[in-house]
Chain A
């Protein structure tokens, strides 16, 4: 097909687009997953749980589409990446899939009956469907950094030589826990914006603070391992950026520490890990601020919500009324 742009540019565009999709997924659905993972702990009574679920009830479905779209984009733009990762991590994908199937059902079905057992069942389902994907996504990213044991035949048929348990190495588990911790921070921050003053808010702040500290520690430990743990790959052969998408014509080798070389080559990229630390650290002390001001400011002004002065300038009358109300 004749393309108006050259192949190398197209590749960068798709790479950027996939980044946008996955980051948007983490930003928007991340707090939904975090709220799900926190649900049984921050909210103990049915009324509290209904309030917590209602903070994400209307939007989680749209947010999850970023993930579906990310999957579709990988399929369309890098069929081989999609094929290798989904078939290689077969049973892990099945776990994620089961959790993601459980999620829409739990959200929709929980309120349909009033019996405490019915509700408790779906509450724990929501916990599983928030916790398991967060964990497995992190484990998957950890394994991508470590490298996966697959080989390709000359016709690009894929053979994967690893096992499900082989995916859970200490480093990939660390990445998985980091992922859970980050999304819990995210979910707790969301709740501290949306929840009314009360026990739920207090618990969300406590769990959020613990998760924020854990995120900082795990992120630092993971970074240390990536630098000195002997992991890393680099393209060592000649790379034809305009050439056909055939990995058999490129050469990649294991080079310890090579994941960090780009930070030396392009120092502006350091912004990413710096933001990673800031992102976990910043909301943590903010949990100590006046939660009412947070909530009144509403999600749209979260950027400013970190500065208490600008938030509290919003007078009571101009503040939107608390929109979360437990249903009758």
Chain B
């Protein structure tokens, strides 16, 4: 039997390391493009202040980038370390985008990030801008490939199970690349990164303006952040909606859980704003709904229905029963690889094999499962509804708040009212919000996929390695202490850098010859 304690601890470790990794990644994604914008202005206007602006945010980018890279290595290793059966089972497909990510994205960003930091005095401004752009392109390509890999876990297209190698294999790589779920997730995720970076730049600029320090620097930075953030926050919400639309096709259960919708409603379904989903009673209490809204968002029509949890569980039950037949055929193939009848039987039910494997949680051989066990397993396909319901709502709520925040910032910057103090306080205090939303977004995406590692293909509990509980505690405690220390150092360095301000970046860079003339000049605030 599978040791469920090992599975739970492996999930805990993956969640901790992934969520930690994603504290740094979105800032890298967004700040790299903000650097491109700032440096473009420098190249076009050749005003030294824009060079200072680019270099200062570049220093913060570098501090953050180091931890993003460092914690990313963990992610690549962890699949093999903690999820070895998963790695074997889907590596043929899942490993490919990861390898391509290394080939295309890492080489690009890692090669040019060195040039970006060391090349300020050696490259011509236009060349350096191009280098900065390549770093931004590299980080964003990296996100593209990793979301193609993740999108496949949500919607496993272009692949099929091979009973001779006991794993999933690629049948259509183009389908994996152009997986609609992956595309929607990519744009949604990088947009979230842009919002986070904009909120970060906005908040630090607000801090300077509240302190009346580096006013010219802060106003310019704020203007870039406001425009970039407004575009990004609109994009993140619109494309989040597109992700919801994509769910309708492939992860009906996730959508039903997010909505706390236990039964299929008549079309068009209403959208719940608040309510108290109850897993035990299998109902959502005190619901307040907007009529028609969910039907419109999810099906883009007035007559499309959105399935409820009870109806989806009934479908799961049927699929589990067929999955047992697929499992039986697979066992016969394993016993005799030339058994033509077994292969024919397998072909009929192959798509339900994953559902048959779900029974392995309760019985060693799914063919021995009782009807009660099949019933319980069918209900196992429901993720944690209250968690999904609330994380989604908080995430979406923050998304709308961000639009309001950046729209206000944009208006204030346009009116040259950068120093509106109440707003500066709001901007400063709002800084953690997009991070919270991004982390919650991953919880919605990944907890909502449970109990599957790969939707409908491989249950999470089967994917884990055959490790021991003490081994897992060793690494969980190790990662927690190590990552905790790194976080303290990182935040300390960022605060230290912010405190020193933008006109000290030469010493931070180890520049051989700081230019005092340029550094001392605090430019006139009206020139934006």
Chain A residues in the interface with B (C-beta under 8 A): 1, 50, 57-59, 61-62, 64-65, 68-69, 71-80, 82-87, 90-91, 93-94, 97-98, 100-105, 107-109, 111-113, 154-160, 243-246, 325, 327-328
For B115, the chain A residues whose CB sits under 8 A away are: 58
For B489, the chain A residues whose CB sits under 8 A away are: 105, 109
For B287, the chain A residues whose CB sits under 8 A away are: none
Name the segment of B89-97, B250-258, B314-322, B428-436 touching the other chain.
B89-97
Chain B residues in the interface with A (C-beta under 8 A): 62-63, 65-67, 69-71, 73-74, 76-77, 79-82, 84-85, 87-92, 94-96, 98-103, 106-107, 110-111, 113-115, 117-118, 162, 164-167, 169-173, 334, 465-467, 471, 474-475, 478, 482, 486, 489, 493, 496-497, 507-514
Closest to B489 in A: A109
Return 27 A-B CB contacts under 8 Å, by A number.
A1-B169, A1-B172, A61-B111, A61-B113, A68-B76, A71-B77, A75-B80, A79-B89, A79-B92, A79-B95, A79-B167, A82-B91, A83-B465, A84-B84, A86-B87, A87-B466, A90-B475, A101-B71, A102-B70, A104-B66, A104-B69, A105-B489, A155-B166, A158-B466, A244-B164, A246-B164, A328-B514
Instruction: Contact check, B82 vs A87: say whether CB atoms are below 8 A apart.
Output: yes
Instruction: Contact check, A105 vs B95: say whether CB atoms are below 8 A apart.
Output: no
For B88, the chain A residues whose CB sits under 8 A away are: 79-80, 83, 156, 158
A245 CB to nearest chain B CB (Å)? 5
Instruction: Contact check, B510 vs A101: say whether CB atoms are below 8 A apart.
Output: no
For B94, the chain A residues whose CB sits under 8 A away are: 75
CB within 8 A of A101: which of B70, B113, B114?
Answer: B70
**Complex CA–CA separation, A208 to B110 (angstroms):** 28
Instruction: Contact check, A59 vs B512: say whether CB atoms are below 8 A apart.
Output: no
Instruction: Contact check, B106 vs A244: say whether CB atoms are below 8 A apart.
Output: no
Closest to B493 in A: A112
For B496, the chain A residues whose CB sits under 8 A away are: 112-113
Closest to B2 in A: A157
Instruction: Contact check, A108 vs B95: say whether CB atoms are below 8 A apart.
Output: no
B interface: dominant SS? helix
Identify which of B70, B80, B334 gathers the most chain A CB atoms within 10 Å of its CB: B80
For B73, the chain A residues whose CB sits under 8 A away are: 68, 97, 100-101
B83 CB to nearest chain A CB (Å)? 8
For A64, the chain B residues whose CB sits under 8 A away are: 110
Beyond A73-B99, A83-B84, whether A325 also contacts B466 by CB under 8 A is: no
For A71, the chain B residues whose CB sits under 8 A away are: 76-77, 102
CB within 8 A of B103: which of A69, A80, A82, A109?
Answer: A69
Beyond A61-B69, A75-B99, A109-B493, whether A86 also contacts B81 by CB under 8 A is: yes
For B95, the chain A residues whose CB sits under 8 A away are: 72, 74-77, 79, 82
For A76, the chain B residues whose CB sits under 8 A away are: 91-92, 95-96, 98-99
**Complex CA–CA separation, A5 to B92 (angstroms):** 17
For B510, the chain A residues whose CB sits under 8 A away are: 50, 111, 327-328
- Extra A-B contacts (13), CB below 8 Å, given A72-B76, A75-B94: A58-B118, A71-B102, A77-B95, A77-B99, A78-B91, A80-B88, A87-B465, A91-B475, A98-B478, A104-B69, A158-B84, A327-B512, A328-B512
Instruction: Contact check, B67 vs A105: say whether CB atoms are below 8 A apart.
Output: yes
